[in-house]
Structure 1
Amino acid sequence: MEIPFTKLHGNGNDFILIDETGSVVIPDEMKGEFARLFCDRRFGIGGDGVLFLVNAEEADYGMRLFQPDASEAEMCGNGIRCIAKYAFDQEYASEICTIQTLAGIMEVTMGYDDEGNFTAAIDMGEILFDCADIPATGEGEYQKEIEGYTVYAVNTGVPHAIAFVDDIESAPLSDVAPKIRFDASFPEGANVNFVQVMSDGAITIRTYERGVEEETWSCGTGATASAAVAHHLGKTGNEVVVTTKGGLLTIHLNDHATMEGPAETVFEGQIVF
């Protein structure tokens, strides 16, 4: 048995992509275990998750994401850019397409620039601040003191916890982040983002991702969530450049949030049984 796959990444947030538009390749009951096995960086292909490109009734295509702990995530900003690039390169989609996720339908505008670089802009929809068991303050912010940090709750397709720090390099990703991630305030768990606001109004973030259970090089929904909270608090404008460990993303904040960034194909291969 041979299973074709494509490896892609968005700012270092890397994925194994399985094309199921023609037929089901991995049965649904086996998708989680498949991700657990093949996301392993020593005994598998390696990745932060497995993307399944599937057909959809209400959109051009659908995306399902299974993570290294075998759980299924609602959506992923970097993952959508990767799956959009694959669909574009395969000529499944043109410059504008819609992708259905468990968090809703996302519209993608994409293409290559004159230098051959692929970029996709994702309409991330409305930002939700009332999304966790955290009370609102008088200013309408949902925040709570957790492990000595003021943590803000926000949902950009998946739940996020945002904490501002003075020095992003010393952010406690290994010890404090897991405690915030599993705090009872987040019934479904949360990705944890430490955020430093820079002097020019940009922000730098580091993200501990649930499901991966460690720091990832980039998180598109985390960048969007961090920018939204920073803007809501008056720390930035409504166009925010976000530096992640793997590169830059640009977040545009109006009635909806739009995330813009790159995606790259790393290699193609076959899993042989």
Structure 2
Amino acid sequence: MSLKFTKLQGNGNDFILIDEYEGTVVPDDKKAAFARKYCHRRFGIGGDGVIFLSKSGRAPLRMRIFNEDGSEAEMCGNGIRCFAKYALDQRYIVPGHTRVETMAGVLELATSVSEGKTHVKVCMGKPLFDRVKIPAQGRGEFINVPLHGYEVSAVNTGVPHAVIFVDSLEDPYLMDAAPQIRFDKIFPKGANVNFVQREAGGLRVRTYERGVEGETLSCGTGSVAAAAVARHLGMIRDSTIVKTAGGELLVSFENDIAYMEGDAETVFTGELEFEPER
């Protein structure tokens, strides 16, 4: 059968979006395989993940996202902005406030369109610093703990993250160290690994993403995680610019609730011949 798709990107984090507003297009038990096949940048469409949009019983819309390796993620910061961009274009929502169901809960979004650009502000909830099993310490904060040669802090901003402050993001060994941290048994579900450099006016971040198993141009939840730990340690105040290879995000905090905002855009649309594997 012919299946329509839309390719979108937020800060260079790119996604294939499949519209299931009127009903399931890719069977649920085939979604993981679909992501593995079509995220391939040589034999597929190419993307960091596949987003499925559908109706929800808890909010106007529901977002599911599958990583490049077929694993389903709880949430994705850049992905949900792309999701909102598509929903606006299809008039499933109108500019202003809306709610989206994700595996990380129902999230509040504020959308606007100006000069052809779609801007999305996402309420990311309260960053959690107690989502890691710490040997001999039970469960609790995990801040600047020695791990694989680095001082690592853990925070959950919808998905689990490890945050490491370094003197320079140009260190050629950062991405070699990232998988050791990502797969360490101390993280029950694995973790995205964010290397963060402080600079005048904000933070600069490089992220190794769980599920992609490599560095991406940007990670929205990772940018929030970096800002959350920096704020927790007194390095920044309640608002900061986070710079990634794919662009900038504004991260702010109100009463310990994190907000992330940035743009999203459509790259192209197309159709593919899809037959669910039997």
Please state which band the TM-score falls in when normalised by the shorter chain.
over 0.9
- Mapped contact 2:132–2:142 kept (Cα < 8 A): no
Does 2:119 correspond to 1:119?
Answer: yes
Does 2:271 correspond to 1:270?
Answer: yes
Aligned to 1:57: 57
Aligned to 1:196: 197
Q: How far 1:107 moved relative to its partner?
A: 0.7
- Mapped contact 1:168–1:206 kept (Cα < 8 A): yes
* 163-172 vs 24-33, greater mean Cα deviation: 163-172
Aligned residues with identical type, % of pairs: 54
**Following the alignment from structure 1 to structure 2, what is the Cα–Cα distance between the partners of residues 235 and 103?**
27
Q: Deviations over 1:29-61 (max 9, x none)?
A: 000000000000000000000000011101110
- Mapped contact 1:134–1:144 kept (Cα < 8 A): no
**Following the alignment from structure 2 to structure 1, what is the Cα–Cα distance between the partners of residues 118 and 31?**
28
**Following the alignment from structure 2 to structure 1, what is the Cα–Cα distance between the partners of residues 161 and 241?**
19
Q: How far 1:172 moved relative to its partner?
A: 3.2
Q: How far 1:111 moved relative to its partner?
A: 1.4
What letter is aligned with 2:53?
L
**Following the alignment from structure 1 to structure 2, what is the Cα–Cα distance between the partners of residues 103 and 171?**
33
**Following the alignment from structure 2 to structure 1, what is the Cα–Cα distance between the partners of residues 15 and 173?**
25
Aligned to 2:80: 80
What letter is aligned with 2:215?
E
Q: Please give the TM-score of this superposition, normalised by the length of structure 2.
A: 0.94
- Mapped contact 1:171–1:194 kept (Cα < 8 A): no
**Following the alignment from structure 2 to structure 1, what is the Cα–Cα distance between the partners of residues 197 and 172?**
9
Question: Structure 1 stretches of 5 or more lacking a match?
Answer: none
Aligned to 2:215: 215
Aligned to 1:109: 110
- Mapped contact 1:238–1:254 kept (Cα < 8 A): yes
Structure 1 residues 171 and 229: CA distance shift in structure 2, 3 A: farther
- Mapped contact 1:49–1:65 kept (Cα < 8 A): yes
What letter is aligned with 1:203?
L
What is the total number of aligned residue pairs between the two structures? Answer: 269
What letter is aligned with 2:195?
F
- Mapped contact 2:130–2:141 kept (Cα < 8 A): no
Q: How far 1:23 moved relative to its partner?
A: 1.1
**Following the alignment from structure 2 to structure 1, what is the Cα–Cα distance between the partners of residues 7 and 172?**
30
**Following the alignment from structure 2 to structure 1, what is the Cα–Cα distance between the partners of residues 197 and 223?**
12
What letter is aligned with 1:149?
Y
Q: How far 1:171 moved relative to its partner?
A: 5.8
Structure 1 residues 44 and 140: CA distance shift in structure 2, 3 A: closer
Runs of 4+ residues deviating >3 angstroms: 139-143
Q: Please give the TM-score of this superposition, normalised by the length of structure 1.
A: 0.96
Does 2:107 correspond to 1:142?
Answer: no
**Following the alignment from structure 1 to structure 2, what is the Cα–Cα distance between the partners of residues 62 and 75?**
11
- Mapped contact 1:134–1:143 kept (Cα < 8 A): no
- Mapped contact 1:165–1:171 kept (Cα < 8 A): no
- Mapped contact 2:134–2:142 kept (Cα < 8 A): no
- Mapped contact 1:134–1:153 kept (Cα < 8 A): no
SS in structure 2 opposite 1:26?
coil
- Mapped contact 1:181–1:192 kept (Cα < 8 A): yes
Aligned to 2:23: 23
- Mapped contact 1:130–1:142 kept (Cα < 8 A): no
- Mapped contact 1:4–1:18 kept (Cα < 8 A): yes
Aligned to 1:259: 260
SS in structure 2 opposite 1:174?
helix
Q: Deviations over 1:89-138 (max 9, x none)?
A: 1110012210000000111101112x2221100000111000111378xx
Aligned to 2:171: 170
Question: Structure 2 stretches of 5 or more lacking a match?
Answer: none
- Mapped contact 1:159–1:189 kept (Cα < 8 A): yes
SS in structure 1 opposite 2:164?
strand
RMSD: 1.4
Aligned to 1:225: 225
